[in-house]
């Protein structure tokens, strides 16, 4: 009987693209492998009228996929690493991370070519507290307005005239064939990316040797070490994905360089830290960086967000 693997994914166009990408690479490395894609709806996909920061809870975009793995409906789940909580349910793990796409945020507008061109009071669409705090710290005059929904929905709202500009991950736009909508890639100095941004991960049951062997060739060790350092920082900060935390690691000659940021949503306080360590110390690097942010008061900023 020919071997098969079943992939659980969300049904947004970006998630489907990512699942199909993994399917294509799996078929390319394993001759004759049967691959089936199973679309699932998550809580995060259903609640579209409220900012995610208010909906609360971690893993809004992954829980249903994980349930599918645990009950045997699917063999692997393909995720944007940005949306994956630090902790996994018992019985599951995430052994494979694919090579990272451009991790930067992108400036998208039909009227302006760059942030600096936005006039006083311009409306910028984003529901990311991380993007919001970095934007308003530089440009307190800009008006941040909520913008949720999948990438296609967000572009449609920009085109309808609801915003002067919107900010999206460059990776999602490129994957969906919207690279031409990117007016400028925002430097990581101006907008430190989200932890895991631009990387795709594959989760599976932690005792499933057959599946682990099938997906192992897709792993990119450089990306994985970078994302490990970033996620360790989040682990120590107890941050979910809906908090004003940014973290980004780069790798040069086997040395990881990690930068982290925690901010208030009004941009009046931005705490920053950076540190380097050999790639073998990725987790310790992330924990140490989080400790430096906590010493500066990150705990108080994050606690203030939690209270209603």
Ligand X SMILES: NCc1[nH]cc(CCC(=O)O)c1CC(=O)O
- The tokens describing 139, both together, are 């440009």
CB of 301 to ligand X, least distance (A): 21
- Counting contacts by CB under 6 A, is residue 166 touching ligand X? no
- Counting contacts by CB under 6 A, is residue 172 touching ligand X? yes
Catalytic residue among 45, 49, 75, 83: 83
Rounded Cα distance between 236 and 113, Å, is: 38
What does the per-residue mask of binding to ligand X show for 80-119, with x meaning CB under 6 A? x-xx------------------------------------
Rounded Cα distance between 233 and 241, Å, is: 13
CB of 80 to ligand X, least distance (A): 3
- The tokens describing 124, both together, are 């910028």
CB of 300 to ligand X, least distance (A): 26
281 is catalytic: no
Distances (CA, A) of 168 to 31, 113, 184, 197, 217: 36, 15, 11, 11, 30
Size of the site for ligand X (CB under 6 A): 10
- Counting contacts by CB under 6 A, is residue 248 touching ligand X? no
Among 8, 53, 171, 298, binds ligand X (CB under 6 A): 171
Query: Residue 265 in 3-state DSSP?
Result: coil
- The tokens describing 204, both together, are 């599976």
* Positions in 66-85 near ligand X (CB under 6 A): 80, 82-83
CB 275 within 8 A of CB 161: no
Sheet containing 4-10: order of strands:
34-40, 4-10, 76-80, 200-205, 92-97
**Region near ligand X per CB under 6 A, out of 1-9, 164-172, 211-219, 268-276:** 164-172
Binding site for ligand X (CB under 6 A): 80, 82-83, 151, 168-169, 171-172, 197-198
């Amino acid at each position: 009987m020919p071997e098969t693997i079943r992939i659980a994914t969300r049904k947004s166009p970006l998630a489907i693209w990512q699942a199909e990408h993994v399917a294509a690479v799996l078929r390319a490395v394993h001759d004759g492998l049967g691959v089936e894609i199973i679309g699932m709806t998550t809580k995060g996909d259903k609640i579209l009228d409220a900012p995610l920061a208010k909906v609360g809870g971690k893993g809004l975009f992954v829980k249903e996929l994980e349930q599918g793995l645990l009950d045997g409906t699917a063999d692997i789940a393909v995720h944007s690493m940005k949306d994956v909580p630090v902790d996994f349910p018992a019985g599951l793990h995430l052994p494979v991370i694919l090579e990272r796409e451009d991790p930067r945020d992108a400036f998208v507008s039909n009227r302006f070519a760059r942030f600096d061109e936005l006039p006083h009071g311009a409306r910028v669409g984003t529901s990311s507290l991380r993007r919001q705090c970095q934007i308003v710290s530089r440009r307190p005059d800009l008006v941040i307005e909520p913008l949720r929904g999948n990438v296609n929905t967000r572009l449609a709202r920009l085109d309808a005239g609801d915003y002067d500009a919107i900010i999206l991950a460059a990776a999602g736009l490129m994957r969906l064939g919207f690279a031409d909508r990117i007016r400028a890639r925002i430097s990581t100095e101006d907008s430190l990316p989200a932890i895991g941004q631009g990387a795709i991960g594959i989760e599976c049951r932690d005792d499933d040797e057959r599946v682990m062997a099938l997906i192992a060739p897709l792993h990119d060790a450089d990306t994985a070490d970078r994302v490990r350092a970033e996620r360790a920082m989040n682990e120590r900060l107890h941050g979910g994905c809906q908090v004003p935390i940014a973290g980004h690691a780069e790798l040069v000659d086997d040395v990881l360089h990690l930068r982290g940021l925690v901010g208030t949503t009004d941009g009046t306080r931005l705490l920053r830290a950076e540190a380097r360590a050999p790639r073998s110390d990725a987790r310790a690097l992330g924990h140490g960086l989080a400790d430096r942010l906590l010493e500066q008061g990150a705990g108080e900023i994050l606690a203030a967000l939690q209270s209603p």
